[in-house]
């Protein structure tokens, strides 16, 4: 049976497997225990060190950094490595060492492990062990941020975003040689990556502005300490980069993915345009600020929807086998010069997707009720946002309209757009199956445009996929896109899922699609969207 002494010895042995000195600090900042190369590094015996203020064994120029380290340890539980200097009291000399701090459950002490081996800390020196130091572009950062938020939520972690401004960084780099300036930039980027969540959520927003997503436990002080250590390595002393920072709470319990992305974009834009002082205290607040700034646009969109100040145009979708009409897609056109895509995207950003979709559905139902009396075979595809289909309120409203208006599945089908990522696929699939039980077909739109497409196809039982027009346009010029479209066609055939190709504009494209077995097509080759659902088969 293991004794407390055995466990203590094992802990010390574990610590010294990669360390030369182990120090335990009590709640009064006194050294409670020291072991290892105490005398050779400090000039004092373990007994002499015990009871001293822990900072006394370190050189004064390391004190500020060590205080930041301890602050980080108390918050994060473990932090480091950081380069510091130990002062040898007997020999009046310094020893460089890498220090890592940690706490242990059920203990009030803080434990410090130090390594003074030159080869070891050369390897672990600031940024030297990062293979790829490049920071994310702004667009890459947006996507990485959303993935980080989702990953952290699944792991029960809280994240923060720290924005840094370094007003004098370009001025400082001009004092360095070309080679040193490049090396400094690489190592600075490496520090930011190293402190970011999962090592890949740091971005350079502007020449002197940076954004880092990190565990909420990581302190801004520690990030700045690492940067100062880098400056000292290059210049031999401390330099003033004019570093300012602001940490923003990234808890997103109240925001969906699209709202989180919009809040992040808005916050970064504020940083770029107005500087650090314009950045709010939390990301949710950033979304609130975005709504406030766009209050007029929101009010106008609400009025457009409430007053049905839009019309529907109808674009034909044809069977490729004989170019006969299959159905029409209802496409919204707002009054004035407003871009339908921009307004709908904006509506999704502010949580109005369900309102827009219901308004469009009502107008499409009215059109069908009027037109189908003289054209019983008329069939209209109505779009449902990926955001809307996740809402129980929207689903109940949609079913209520279909039942109240006695809409026949012979006259209507639905296309789910991927403009908003779908979260609860299981719940959404239940809604889809309720729609299909009523004999309405359900199609997945823009297939291939998002990384989640194949995941959706696997999780959602649907009748049809519409292949994103980008791939259709590139298929004849790109072997990769051609292979993707061909393999998709074959897979859908095996699954019994119908395929529709978007943005078909040339005879060459059509011949290719027929050759690989695509079922239907939509595009200017067959007709543009028009106020009336009319189709004239082209003369060939």
Question: Which of the four pLDDT bands, split at 50, 70 and 90, describes residue 197?
Answer: confident
Residue 7: how many other CB atoms lie within 10 Å = 10
Q: Is pLDDT at 19 greater than 90 in this prediction? A: no
Q: What is the mean pLDDT of residues 133-156?
A: 79
Question: For the residues 173-192, what does the mean pLDDT come to?
Answer: 84
- Percent of the chain past pLDDT 90, that is, above it, reads 25
> Percent of the chain at pLDDT above 70?
89
- Closest among 236, 245, 244, 242 to 61, alpha carbons compared: 236
Q: What mean pLDDT, rounded, does the chain reach?
A: 83
Residue 519 has pLDDT above 90, yes or no: yes
Predicted pLDDT at 525: 93
In the chain, which residues fall in CATH 3.30.450.20? 4-124
pLDDT-derived band at 280 (thresholds 50, 70, 90) equals confident
pLDDT in tens, 281-306: 888 888 888 888 888 888 888 888 88
**Residue 524 pLDDT:** 94
Question: 3-state class of 202 per DSSP?
Answer: strand
Topology classification of domain 4-124: Beta-Lactamase (3.30.450)
Residue 507: the pLDDT is: 93
List beta partners, residue 165: 209, 244
User: What's the rounded mean pLDDT across residues 67-83?
Assistant: 72
pLDDT exceeds 80 at position 354: yes
pLDDT of residue 130: 39
Read off the pLDDT of each residue in 203-230 and give the average, rounded to a whole number: 82
The SS3 of residue 28 is coil
The pLDDT of residue 526 = 94
- Predicted pLDDT of residue 131: 45
Q: What is the mean pLDDT of residues 297-323?
A: 90
The pLDDT of residue 8 is above 80: no
- Whether pLDDT at 93 is above 50: yes
All CATH 3.20.20.450 domain ranges in the chain, comma separated:
295-522
127: confidence class by pLDDT, cuts 50, 70, 90 = very low
Q: What is the pLDDT of residues 151-167, one digit of tens each?
A: 887 777 788 888 888 88
Average pLDDT over residues 56-74: 80
pLDDT value for 322: 92
CA dihedral 365→392→297→253, nearest 10 degrees, is -170
Question: In 365-475, which ranges are E strands?
Answer: 380-384, 412-416, 442-447, 464-467
- Per-residue pLDDT tens digits for 393-438: 999 999 999 999 999 999 999 999 865 567 778 889 999 999 999 9
Instruction: Kindly state the average pLDDT of the residues 65-78.
Output: 74
Q: Which residue has the higher pLDDT, 286 or 505?
A: 505
Q: For domain 138-293, which architecture applies?
A: 2-Layer Sandwich (3.30)
Rounded Cα distance, 168 and 185, in Å: 13
The CATH number for 295-522, chosen from 1.20.1600.10, 3.30.70.60, 3.40.50.2300, 3.20.20.450, is 3.20.20.450
Q: Cα–Cα distances in Å, from 272 out to 154, 207, 244, 276, 277?
A: 31, 10, 14, 8, 11
Question: Is the bond preceding 69 in cis, omega lying within 30 degrees of 0?
Answer: no
User: According to the model, what pLDDT value does residue 439 have?
Assistant: 96
Cα(383)–Cα(330) distance, rounded to whole angstroms? 7
Top-ranked range on mean pLDDT: pick from 76-90, 168-182, 363-377: 363-377
């Amino acid at each position: 049976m293991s004794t407390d002494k055995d466990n203590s010895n094992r802990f010390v042995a574990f610590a010294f497997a990669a360390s030369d000195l182990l120090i335990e600090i009590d709640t009064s900042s006194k050294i409670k225990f020291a072991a290892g190369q105490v005398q050779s590094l400090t000039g004092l015996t373990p007994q002499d060190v015990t009871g001293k203020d822990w900072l006394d064994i370190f050189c004064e120029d390391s004190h500020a950094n060590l205080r930041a380290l301890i602050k980080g340890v108390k918050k994060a539980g473990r932090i480091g490595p950081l380069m510091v200097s130990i002062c040898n009291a007997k020999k009046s000399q310094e020893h460089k060492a890498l220090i890592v701090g940690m706490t242990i459950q059920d203990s009030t002490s803080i434990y410090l492990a130090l390594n003074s081996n030159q080869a070891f800390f050369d390897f672990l020196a600031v940024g030297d062990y990062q293979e790829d130091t490049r920071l994310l572009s702004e667009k890459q950062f947006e996507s990485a941020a959303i993935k980080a938020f989702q990953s952290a939520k699944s792991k029960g972690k809280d994240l923060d975003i720290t924005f840094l401004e370094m007003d004098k960084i370009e001025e400082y780099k001009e004092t360095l040689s070309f080679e040193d300036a490049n090396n400094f930039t690489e190592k600075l980027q490496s520090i930011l990556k190293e402190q970011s969540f999962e090592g890949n959520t740091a971005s350079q927003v502007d020449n002197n502005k940076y954004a880092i997503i990190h565990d909420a436990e990581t302190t801004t002080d520690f990030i700045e300490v690492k940067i100062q250590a880098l400056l000292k390595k290059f210049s031999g002393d401390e330099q003033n980069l004019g570093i300012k920072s602001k940490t923003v709470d990234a808890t997103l319990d109240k925001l969906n993915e699209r709202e989180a992305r919009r809040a992040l974009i808005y916050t970064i834009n504020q940083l770029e345009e107005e500087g650090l002082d314009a950045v709010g205290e939390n990301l949710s607040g950033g979304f609130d600020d975005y709504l406030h700034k766009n209050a007029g646009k929101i009010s106008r969109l609400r009025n457009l929807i409430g007053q049905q100040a839009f019309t529907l145009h109808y674009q034909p979708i044809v069977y490729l086998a004989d170019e006969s009409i299959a159905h029409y897609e209802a496409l919204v056109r707002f009054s004035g010069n407003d871009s339908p895509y921009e307004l709908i995207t904006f509506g999704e950003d502010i949580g109005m997707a369900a309102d827009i979709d219901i308004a469009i559905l009502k107008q499409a139902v009215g059109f069908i009720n009027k037109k189908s009396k003289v054209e019983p075979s008329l069939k209209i595809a109505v779009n449902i946002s990926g955001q809307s289909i996740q809402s129980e309120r929207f689903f109940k409203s949609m079913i209520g309209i279909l039942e109240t208006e006695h809409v026949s599945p012979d006259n209507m089908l639905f296309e789910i757009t991927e403009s908003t990522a779908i979260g609860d696929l299981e719940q959404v699939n239940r809604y889809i199956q309720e729609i299909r039980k009523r004999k309405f077909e359900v199609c997945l739109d823009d297939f291939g445009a998002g990384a989640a497409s194949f995941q959706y196809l696997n999780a959602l039982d649907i009748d049809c996929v519409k292949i994103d027009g980008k791939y259709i346009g590139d298929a004849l010029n790109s072997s990769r896109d051609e292979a993707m479209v061909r393999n998709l066609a074959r897979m859908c055939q095996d699954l019994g899922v119908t395929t529709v190709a978007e943005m078909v504009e040339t005879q060459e494209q059509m011949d290719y699609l027929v050759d690989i077995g695509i079922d239907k097509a939509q595009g200017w080759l067959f007709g543009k969207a028009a106020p009336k659902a009319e189709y004239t088969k082209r003369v060939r």
